A and B are shown apart, each in its own frame.
Chain A
Amino acid sequence: MTNIGVYICHCGTNIAGVVDVEGLTQKVAKLKDVSLAKDYKYMCSEPGQDLIREDIKNRNLDRVVVAACSPRMHENTYKKVLASAGLNPFLLEIANIREQASWVHLDKEKTTDKALDLIKMAVAKVRMDEPLTSLSANVIQRVLVIGAGIAGIQTSLDIANIGFDVVLVEKEQSIGGRMSQLGKTFPTLDCSACILTPKMVEVSLNPRIKLFTYSEVEEISGFIGNFKAKIRKKSRGLDESLCTGCGLCQEKCPTKVPSEYDEKMGKRKAIYTLFPQAVPNIPVIDRASCLYITKGKCGVCKKVCPAGAIDYERTDEFIEEEIGAVVVATGFDPFDPVSKEEYGFGIYRNVITGLQLERLLHAAGPTKGEVVRPSDGAIPKRIAFVQCVGSRDEHANKYCSRVCCMYAIKNALLIKEHHPESEIFIYYIDIRAFGKGYEEFYKRAQENGIKFMRGRVAEIFEEQKSRNPVIRADDTLLGMVTENELDMVVLSVGMIPRSDSSKIQKMLGLAASPDGFFMEAHAKLRPVDTLVDGVFLAGTAQGPKDIPDTVAQAKGAASGALEVISHKTLQLSPLISEVDERLCRGCGDCKDVCEYGAIEIVTLDTHKVARINPAICKGCGACAVACCNGSIKLRNYTDSITFAMLDATLGGAV
């Protein structure tokens, strides 16, 4: 004998405004196996919860239906009520009569009928539901952080300082990321290196952080709590344990090539470190430009190295690490303005990008902080910034990159402070100064005589003799098209997803937003989670953001990862698919449709069968549908339950 209790919520007037709750309760009370039906103003309130709890105890209810809002809201609340009353929490069903009835219809009578149908189905289902017990799995209490820019650094430090181990993998030869390339930061104008390097040193000294630089994650397998990562530690062409970082090799190396780190504004050697405070301070031999490696000649670095560390033949190493959670902090690439042909970047030498200007303004950059024209090394007196290059543009990227307004204003101010006589223009569409202290910073620029020109630059051409770039733009406030001859033009390029982000995306099974950045699980309420359990996002890998937002998100990602790995075991939902191995013929159709990679085909003595990893299975049921001989069942969503639900509403069998 089944004793089902049905509880119908008014949700204030959200439900009761359209559904005749009292009439509905009376009808429900008469359904088969329903021993009581009650309505209440707010079922999720404490008195509402008590009502259910008391009835389970006093009226011996063995199954419960709550007709209220979406199960996404309060299913967990009621599950806990059942558990606290000693009832298996999986003997609960929610009939969503708010989102699926009262919120979407106006006709009171028909909506009440629909609510009744929804409750009938829930009753039919709960009658057949099996009591289930949560599964548990062991958790490897370490976190993998991919990318050691400011986001990855902050996440790693937070996790390590709380007392858990971190594996931090950085593709470049030093940690620091894009932030290390910047000269100063807005709106406070503190030098980027001054605030970043202490954190970099902290990483290198923290015994809980295992740092892999010049390394890449090649493969990740497993599931939440139990991931395995294969890391390629690329050869630096030397023995890291011997290198003392004295720098003699760099000094003596005869080969000079354009420096990628300096955005081609300066040169580097074939054996080089990125910058003086690099962590670790160990150089890398660039195999494409090293004379010894390409031509078999030279060998100077090997000769001068006092530690005998140079080893041209050194090969890549592979390391496997086990971790319980992953934080993706892979950062961004700057937009390449070559595709905006009308701006002549790459053709006109005095047209540069914002990041190139950062390198010029950097005290340790190629010009030691002096801004000079690339064509003749002269100090430019008339400079213009072109905003929204590649951003807010249907032909490039639709989104706003969020940092360009402020970095242009910052660099304009820095130049103006160095050379007060210079004339600086910022061509903008809208100035977006949304952060703390940003609007005030914008004002400071206006006070200092930076000229703000409202209009998107239509084209740039070059005066041949002087190599001065000329901007042609509609001054939309004056309503006239103007031409402005300058000494130098800076293109404020936006952020785009890293060119190699699809590799990480595939490896982890992440989703990407329409803008190409990694997608969070929920735009508002789960901004650092992904749809893959145990994988979190930090920084610009998720979308353009400034340093404060990046650091805040990095701390959020650390807390997300800690939530996973701070427990030794993990509770897993038992609402998953299971295979009846007596029926399975191992055809693999289920494996093909599983989006989560939860199914494996294993070979037994005589035949093959499908096995489902309960830790990966999300209970979506795709495999159960695909299985041609019905050997896979999704727990509590079996065919017979579904038919019973259909009968309840269509066949009048109840």
Chain B
Amino acid sequence: MKQIIKRTKAYYCVECGKCSGSCPVARVNEGFSPRVIVERALSGMKGEIEGDRELWTCLTCEACTTKCPSTVKFSEFIRGMRSSAFNSGYTSRCSQGGLLHSIQRVQSYRDIVQNRLQWISDDLKTSTEGEVLYFTGCLPYFENLFSGFVNPLEIARSTVKILNKAGISPVVSPNERCCGHDLLWTGNVETFQKLARLNIEMIKESGASRIVTSCPECLRTLKLDYADFFEGTDIEIVHISEFISSLIKNNDIKLNRAGIMTYQDPCRLGRHMGIYDAPREVIKSMGELVEMNKNREESSCCGVSAWATCEGNSKLMQIERLIEAKSTGADMLVTSCPKCLIHFRCAVHNQIPVEKEKVDIPVVDLTVAACRALAGE
């Protein structure tokens, strides 16, 4: 714990409470306070933190981190404490009864054979080797679990279609594994590292020098958390929103008007990676952008991260955000993270404590929206 405190500069904390005041979880859960967790750590209460269920409640959304006047890296602090708790035998409460984390752990075995590529229809061009690799992430698995209210693979198909439009036939590998984001952020560092090694092997074999992701979590993980492994090579990693916006800038594609849109900044893409403008440029090229009150750095989280702790409070956050989106008068809420999409759709799919009209706004993935708006299709 001493090392975590040192690495995240938690010792700079002056107990001002800016974090807890800015925290979206503390808004709905009075028992949760980033400040108190840090205060306990500084007082040496390792066991108490590890055993506290609130350790798994944090969204690691960085709302506090970007505001902290003492630059304490709170998300990283939570990640470190979770790993320490995991090693002491504690685990998060995975929202799907542990299924998602199990699927991710299974992928860390070298010899498994995945049926990962069935979604590639005849109209899509992909390769087994090449310069550009499309890192699909968990979309094929999500399709199986959440197809009742969302079509995650449409994101994958739209991504490949847009890449094809730019003359790229991306590598899509059956040997790809989960990037390990969720396991890393729920304390299982060992399995994360196994997944990372397998993915790096796969990427090196493909000969790719550029990776496109359609998931901000994959982007963050590959770009920042794999950095140690990637050292020495110069593989460029971009999010699809950056890719599309550069296509638009170069006049390589043109998008038709698709209505008024508001935009949800995913935590990983926005506060973690600082990408705010690219998705907005894509939206502006196919419609009108109306911002929600809380946008860019101030944006609210979709309520769940790393499939840890989905509960009533998560739903409250999602509904509040949807109400905000609806009140902008936009035709749709666009996001660029498959998980934001799943969480928002899930929230309205089930029973909700407010009238349906208040949250009744279509939620669409940015890539899917862009693909639908492709001119000449």
Contacts and interface: CB of A to CB of B under 8 A. Distances in A.
Interface of A: 341-342, 388, 392-396, 429-430, 454-459, 472-476, 479-481
A478 B18 CA distance: 14
Given A456-B21, A481-B17, 15 more contacts: A341-B298, A392-B14, A395-B69, A454-B17, A456-B16, A456-B18, A456-B69, A457-B18, A458-B17, A458-B21, A474-B16, A475-B17, A479-B33, A480-B30, A481-B26
Interface string B36-79: 10000000000000000000000000000001111100000000
Contact of A342 (B15, B19, B35, B67): B67
Nearest to B32: A481
A474 B33 CA distance: 9
A472 B21 contact: yes
Contacts of B15: 429, 476
Interface of B: 14-23, 26-27, 30, 33, 35-36, 67-71, 298
A392 B12 CA distance: 11
Given A342-B298, A479-B36, A481-B33, A393 B69 contact: yes
A476 B67 contact: no
Given A429-B14, A458-B67, A476-B35, A481 B20 contact: yes
A474 B70 contact: no
B16 A476 contact: yes
Contacts of A395: 67, 69, 71
Nearest to A476: B17
Q: Choose among B18, B30, B71, B298 the residue with the greatest number of A CB atoms under 10 Å from its CB.
A: B18
B71 A455 contact: no
A476 B33 CA distance: 10
A433 B14 CA distance: 18
15 contacts: A342-B298, A393-B69, A395-B71, A429-B15, A456-B21, A457-B21, A458-B17, A458-B21, A458-B22, A459-B22, A474-B16, A474-B20, A474-B21, A474-B26, A481-B33
Contacts of B19: 458, 474
A337 to B, nearest CB: 14
A342 B18 CA distance: 11
B30 A394 contact: no
Contacts of B26: 474, 481
B69 to A, nearest CB: 4
A111 B139 CA distance: 70
A395 B35 CA distance: 18
Contact of A455 (B21, B67, B69): B21
Contacts of A456: 16-18, 21, 69
B69 A474 contact: no
Given A394-B71, A395-B69, A472-B21, A455 B36 contact: no
A189 to B, nearest CB: 29
Given A342-B22, A480-B30, A481-B21, A455 B70 contact: no
Given A395-B69, A456-B69, A458-B67, A481 B18 contact: no
A649 B289 CA distance: 75
B298 A481 contact: no
B28 to A, nearest CB: 11
A341 B295 CA distance: 12
A481 B71 contact: no
Contacts of B18: 456-458, 474
A481 B30 contact: yes
Contacts of A481: 17, 20-21, 23, 26-27, 30, 33
Q: Choose among A392, A395, A456 the residue with the greatest number of B CB atoms under 10 Å from its CB.
A: A456
A341 to B, nearest CB: 7
A456 B72 CA distance: 15
B176 to A, nearest CB: 39
Contacts of B67: 342, 395, 458
A459 to B, nearest CB: 7
Contacts of A458: 17-22, 67
A458 B35 CA distance: 12
A342 B19 CA distance: 13
A475 B27 CA distance: 14
Nearest to B35: A474
Contact of B70 (A394, A473, A480): A394
Contacts of A476: 15-17, 35
Contacts of B22: 342, 458-459
A392 B298 contact: no
Contact of A392 (B23, B30, B36, B69): B69
Contacts of B16: 388, 429, 455-456, 474, 476
Contacts of A459: 21-22
Nearest to A393: B69
A474 B13 CA distance: 14
A455 B70 CA distance: 14
A556 B127 CA distance: 78
Contacts of B70: 394
Nearest to B16: A456
Contacts of A455: 16-17, 21
A342 to B, nearest CB: 7
B281 to A, nearest CB: 22
B299 to A, nearest CB: 12
B277 to A, nearest CB: 17
A435 B30 CA distance: 39
A455 B16 CA distance: 5
A492 to B, nearest CB: 14
A394 B70 CA distance: 6
Contacts of A474: 16-21, 26, 33, 35
